[in-house]
């Protein structure tokens, strides 16, 4: 069953019934001010950091689900009936409900008793505010007297503190109301230089800033007392729970339409100019007032929206493709690229499933996210790389996570995830291939943010590589540390204490357990680093890396091969993990996908054998699962992986993030049909028809789809913030369609299904627009290219030596 449809021309997903199986969300803002918005207007907003600068409150994991939002109520002042055009929170039976989730905006609305109302929510570029444009039309034959109410509940900034230390916060809450604008200034009197505001374009018929005055005691957002009564009470919050609510009365003739604009924003003042008059406790509003005035003007709001639209058109315009498969086109051209922006911005911090409190930005996650993002805004990728590298430790290891606001490594989780440093090499390499900006390698970047420790970024890459060489285990494979990519394979944890963190508790010294996956990653990152070194003229160094890579490859072939597939690891007792000798967990996806992706076993048939085993033992109709057989009980020596019931998450769920590794691996063997088949199994658009089973949004990837061992096989969970976005984008664009960035230029090496007659694409790369058409004339992957009519040797198109800014590439596959 479907809950809506794609509108590809408008780049929107249109939800046509509000009761989706789960809230189907969208993100507002893509730079510094962000919001989450569900299809029924639930969600919250924050500035930069979902934990430390939370503007509005949200009630996660609650019943009913998805409460706290940007709620608008309309009240018929003649009959007293009131409702929410976004369905929540009143949940009236609406006509023509729709939610159009678009690129950085959502438009939610409906009709009720002849009154049509839609609200367009978005964050203008380069501003720290959001605009709600409410449009109301009277379709009745008679005049309508309508009160409209707009409301939000302020969060007292630190979302963690807000949820836990309420005894204090019940006393600190403060607001000001001036010229009809509600200012939320809790803690502004002391160490905060920022405040929030909520403004309305029309003269108000009333406001409220005290939650209980608006809702009434013991009432919820579904039936606020003041809305029911038809009159806000002009309450001023003193402690307790500050909110912002505006009431506007309108009188609409039949057929008449009116627009009301609301602006919710965040503003900072210089420390020495916080108060006006100086010495008072009143917010100095001199710099914020013009901003508020500007966006309350519907003409300015429309212009800002148009600007946002153009911005997204240009970002998406960097790569567009036309293939015979609509799901490929839609995801590549619109939604997958869009999701990559969200994962770049949020990492895994703030979604319907991630509270925004628990985790900052992940080191490995953010580096991998670059793969799908770097082409869109390279300057921001550059900044991110330097931020990440600044949290690297002098050992070459890395803090596993850091806080986006402070940009400091997170001490609670610390380091010791032994795959982490290699992802920095992969991220930097992706950046260099995209931009050719070699200057980044000379940027001086500290270790652990310690002043005086600055070294060129290149030095960080060298240390990343050496980190592993200095941590080899008994077989010469990399030691795993706390975990590798699979956070839940905790081979040094041995936890028998409830509540102990599998990730940060290390009960064994960690000198034995080894990871075949990290070995594959090392082979991959080592090659990338060697190519970078060679380009810098460091030939001896490049050769040394390749020697280590060759050695590691040999170690994998002798100690990491199980006979039919790659082993996953050795545990702390030296026993195999992911071997036919194991009772459960005989074969894993990560080592098989990544070793082949890294080119191990391509020349001796082992790669083909490993992928055949993946196909036979791990691939399901809903995607490829992490391992088989699933662990049926808790294994002390394996850790969190066996804590999940079979079929969920890392215990034999379809962890979508790693599926693309197998897709890429398949392309390395020339298996275009298989690669694209795997791609389609987890493509959310292709799963739209099974919405009742899949349950998550059909326009973005989810972290996990339950595997066949689970009673809910095929059900997705944890949508939006997952490395799946970047890896799928990278797999389909660079390996299946084969339009690949390299240090030397754009490589064209499609490995597409045999049934495809070809495809066309546009790629803007280093300032040049490439119009690419691929025609299939035979069944193979051999390609001959002409560039602006001239045949070239090989498949790499170097940047034009002349001033050409448009280049036509034709490729014949035979």
Check residue 176 for interaction with ligand BGC (CB under 6 A).
Answer: no
Shortest distance (Å) from residue 654 CB to ligand BGC = 13
As a dihedral over the C-alpha atoms of residue 123, residue 129, residue 133, residue 134, rounded to 10 degrees, the angle is: 120
Q: Is 420 in the site for ligand NOJ (CB under 6 A)?
A: no
Please tell me whether residue 649 binds ligand BGC under the rule CB under 6 A. Answer: yes
Q: Which is nearer to ligand BGC, 487 or 514 (CB)?
A: 487
- Residues 104 and 27 sit within 8 Å (Cβ to Cβ): yes
503 binds ligand BGC (CB under 6 A): yes
Q: Which of 488, 555, 619, 624 binds ligand NOJ (CB under 6 A)?
A: 488
In angstroms, the CA 656 to CA 725 distance is: 9
Quick check: 568 binds ligand NOJ (CB under 6 A)? no
Q: Is 681 exposed, middle or buried (0-12, 13-18, 19+ CB in 10 A)?
A: buried
Q: Hey, what's the torsion of the CAs at 628, 630, 632, 635, to 10 degrees?
A: 90
Active site residue 487: yes
First to last CA, the chain: 41
The torsion angle over the Cα atoms of residues 520, 526, 528 and 534, rounded to 10 degrees, is: -160
Residue in 183, 161, 427 with CA at minimum distance from that of residue 284: 183
Q: Binding string to ligand NOJ for residues 312 to 351, with x set by CB under 6 A, is what?
A: ------------------------------------x---
# binding residues, ligand NOJ (CB under 6 A): 9
Residue nearest to ligand BGC (CB): 487
Decide which of ligand NOJ, ligand BGC, none touches 503; Cβ closer than 5 to 8 Å per partner kind: ligand BGC
Using the minimum distance from each CB to ligand BGC, give the nearer residue, 176 or 650: 650
CA distance 750 to 597: 16
The distance of closest approach from Cβ of residue 643 to ligand NOJ in the complex, given in angstroms and rounded to an integer, is 12
Phi then psi dihedrals of residue 560, to 5 deg: -115, 10
590: contact with ligand BGC by CB under 6 A? no
Is residue 482 part of the contact set for ligand NOJ (CB under 6 A)? no
- Per-residue x/- track, 627-646, ligand BGC (CB under 6 A): -------------x------
Cβ-contact 707, 630 below 8 angstroms: yes
Q: Is residue 781 a contact residue for ligand BGC (CB under 6 A)? A: no
Distance, in Å, from the CA atom of 205 to the CA atom of 225, rounded to the nearest integer, reads: 16
State the Cα–Cα distance between residues 495 and 508, nearest whole angstrom. Answer: 10
Minimum CB distance to ligand BGC smaller for 488 or for 532:
488
Phi and psi at residue 809, to the nearest 5°: -115, 130
Identify each DSSP E strand in 126-241 by its residue range.
Answer: 129-138, 144-157, 175-178, 181-184, 194-200, 206-210
What string marks each residue from 478 to 497 as x (binds ligand BGC by CB under 6 A) or -?
A: ---------xx---------
Are 424 and 367 spatial neighbours (Cβ–Cβ below 8 Å)? yes
Q: Which residue has the tokens 């034999």?
A: 652
* CA–CA gap between residue 177 and residue 200 (Å, rounded): 12
Nearest approach in angstroms of CB 348 to ligand NOJ is: 5
Residue 364 found at the interface with ligand NOJ (CB under 6 A)? yes
Q: What is the DSSP letter of 807?
A: E
Q: Which is nearer to ligand BGC, 239 or 358 (CB)?
A: 358
Binding mask 62-91 for ligand BGC (x = CB under 6 A): ------------------------------
Q: Helices 378-390 and 457-469 meet at what angle, rounded to 10?
A: 50
From the list 171-179, 479-487, 532-540, 598-606, the region that binds ligand NOJ by CB under 6 A is 479-487
Tokens of 14: 């249109």
HSE (side-chain half, CA atoms, 13 Å) at 459: 15
Query: Which two structure tokens, joined as six digits, stand for 609?
Result: 């054998």
Part of the chain binding ligand NOJ (CB under 6 A), chosen from 122-130, 197-205, 447-455, 481-489: 481-489
Site track for ligand BGC across 595-634, x = CB under 6 A: ----------------------------------------
- Beta carbon nearer to ligand NOJ, 348 or 463: 348
Helix (H, G, I), strand (E, B) or coil at 359: coil
Tell me if 588 contacts ligand NOJ by CB under 6 A: no
Stretch of 357-365, 473-481, 526-534, 683-691 lying at the interface with ligand NOJ (CB under 6 A): 357-365
| Nearest residue relative to ligand NOJ (C-beta) | 487
> Which lies closer to ligand NOJ via its Cβ, residue 488 or residue 531?
488
Spatial contact of 121 and 54, defined as CB atoms under 8 Å apart: no
Catalytic residue (one of 76, 158, 487, 709)? 487
Cα separations in angstroms, 566 against 100, 522, 562: 46, 15, 6
CA-based nearest residue to 319, from 342, 336, 339, 343: 336
The span from the CA of 263 to the CA of 247, in Å, is 14
- Quick one: DSSP state of residue 272? G
Residue 650 in the binding site for ligand BGC (CB under 6 A): yes
CA 394 to chain centre: 29
> Which of the residues 133 through 172 are near ligand NOJ (CB under 6 A)?
none
Look at residue 434 and give the partner it binds from ligand BGC, ligand NOJ, none, a contact being a CB closer than 5 to 8 Å depending on partner kind: none
Site string for ligand NOJ, 617-656 (x = CB under 6 A): ---------------------------------x------
Q: Is 368 a binder of ligand BGC (CB under 6 A)?
A: no
Q: Which is nearer to ligand BGC, 16 or 506 (CB)?
A: 506
Total residues binding ligand BGC (CB under 6 A):
6
Q: Based on the shown chain and the rule CB under 6 A, indicate whether residue 415 belongs to the binding site for ligand NOJ.
A: no
How far is it between the farthest Cα atoms of the chain? 85
- Cα–Cα–Cα angle for 242, 247, 249, rounded to 5 degrees: 175
| Residues forming the site for ligand BGC (CB under 6 A) | 487-488, 503, 640, 649-650
Write out the catalytic residue numbers: 487
| Residues forming the site for ligand NOJ (CB under 6 A) | 348, 362, 364-365, 485-488, 650
């Amino acid at each position: 069953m479907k809950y809506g449809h794609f509108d590809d021309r408008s780049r929107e997903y249109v939800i046509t019934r509000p009761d989706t199986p789960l809230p189907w969300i969208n993100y507002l803002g893509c730079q510094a001010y962000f919001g989450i918005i569900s299809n029924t207007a639930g969600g919250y907003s924050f500035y930069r950091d979902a934990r430390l600068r939370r503007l509005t409150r949200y009630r996660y994991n609650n019943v009913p689900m998805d409460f706290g939002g940007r709620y608008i109520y309309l009240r018929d002042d003649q009959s007293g009936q009131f409702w929410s055009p976004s369905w929540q929170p009143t949940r009236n039976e609406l006509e023509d409900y729709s939610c159009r989730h678009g690129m950085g905006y959502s438009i939610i609305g409906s009709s009720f008793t002849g009154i049509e109302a839609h609200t367009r929510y978005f964050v203008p570029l380069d501003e720290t505010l959001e605009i709600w444009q409410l449009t109301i039309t009277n379709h009745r034959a008679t005049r309508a007297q309508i009160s409209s109410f707009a409301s939000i509940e302020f969060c007292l900034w630190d979302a963690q503190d807000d949820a836990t230390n309420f005894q204090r916060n019940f006393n600190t809450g403060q607001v000001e109301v001036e010229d009809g604008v509600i200012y939320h200034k809790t803690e502004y009197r002391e160490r905060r230089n920022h405040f929030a505001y909520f403004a309305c374009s029309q003269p108000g018929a009333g406001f409220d800033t005290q939650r209980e005055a608006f809702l009434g005691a013991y009432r919820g957002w579904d039936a606020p007392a003041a809305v029911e009564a038809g009159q806000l009470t002009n309450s001023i919050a003193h402690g307790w729970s500050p909110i912002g609510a505006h009431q506007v009365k309108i009188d609409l003739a039949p057929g008449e339409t009116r627009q009301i604009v609301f602006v919710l924003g965040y503003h900072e003042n210089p420390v020495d100019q916080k108060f006006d008059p100086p010495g008072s406790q009143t917010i100095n509003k001199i710099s914020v007032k013009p901003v508020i005035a500007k966006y309350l003007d519907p003409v300015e709001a429309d212009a800002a929206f148009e600007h946002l639209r153009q911005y997204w058109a240009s970002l998406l315009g960097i790569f567009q493709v036309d293939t015979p498969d609509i799901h490929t086109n839609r995801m590549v051209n619109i939604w997958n690229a869009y999701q990559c922006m969200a994962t770049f911005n949020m990492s895994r911090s703030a979604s319907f499933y991630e509270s925004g409190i628990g985790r900052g930005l992940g080191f490995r996650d953010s580096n991998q996210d670059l793969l799908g993002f770097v082409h869109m805004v390279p300057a921001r990728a550059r900044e991110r790389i330097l931020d990440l590298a600044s949290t690297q430790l002098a050992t070459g290891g890395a803090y596993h996570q850091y806080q986006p606001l402070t940009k400091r490594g997170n001490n609670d989780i610390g380091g010791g995830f032994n795959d982490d440093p290699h992802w920095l090499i992969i991220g930097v390499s992706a950046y260099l291939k995209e931009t050719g900006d070699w200057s980044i390698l000379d940027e001086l970047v500290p270790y652990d943010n310690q002043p005086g420790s600055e070294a060129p970024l290149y030095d960080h890459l060298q240390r990343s590589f050496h980190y592993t060489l200095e941590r080899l285990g008994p077989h010469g494979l990399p030691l795993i540390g706390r975990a590798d990519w699979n956070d839940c394979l905790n081979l040094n944890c041995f936890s028998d204490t409830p509540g102990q963190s599998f990730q940060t508790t290390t009960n064994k010294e960690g000198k034995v357990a080894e990871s075949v996956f990290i070995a594959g990653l090392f082979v991959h990152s080592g090659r990338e680093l060697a190519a970078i070194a060679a380009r810098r003229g460091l030939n001896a160094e490049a050769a040394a890396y390749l020697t280590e890579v060759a050695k590691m490859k040999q170690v994998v072939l002798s100690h990491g091969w199980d006979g039919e597939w790659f082993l996953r690891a050795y545990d702390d007792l030296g026993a195999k993990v992911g071997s036919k000798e194991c009772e459960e967990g005989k074969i894993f996806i990560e080592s098989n996908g990544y070793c082949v992706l890294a080119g191990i076993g391509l020349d001796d048939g082992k790669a083909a054998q490993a992928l055949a085993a993946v196909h036979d033992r791990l691939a399901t109709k809903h995607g490829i699962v992490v391992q088989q057989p699933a662990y049926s009980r808790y294994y002390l020596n394996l850790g969190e992986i066996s804590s999940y019931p079979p079929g969920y998450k890392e215990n034999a769920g379809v962890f979508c993030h790693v599926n693309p590794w197998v897709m890429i691996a398949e392309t390395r063997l020339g298996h275009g049909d298989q690669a694209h088949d795997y791609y389609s199994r987890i493509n959310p658009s292709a799963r739209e028809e099974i919405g009742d089973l899949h349950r998550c949004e059909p326009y973005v990837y989810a972290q996990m789809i339950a595997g066949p061992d689970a009673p809910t096989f095929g059900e997705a969970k944890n949508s939006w913030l997952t490395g799946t976005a970047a890896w799928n984008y990278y797999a389909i664009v660079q390996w299946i369609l084969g339009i690949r960035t390299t240090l030397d230029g754009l490589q064209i090496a499609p490995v597409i299904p045999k049934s495809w007659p070809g495809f066309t694409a546009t790629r803007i790369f280093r300032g040049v627009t490439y119009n690419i058409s691929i025609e299939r004339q035979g069944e193979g992957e051999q390609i001959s290219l002409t560039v602006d009519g001239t045949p070239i040797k090989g498949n790499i198109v170097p940047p034009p030596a002349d001033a050409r800014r448009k280049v036509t590439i034709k490729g014949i596959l035979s």
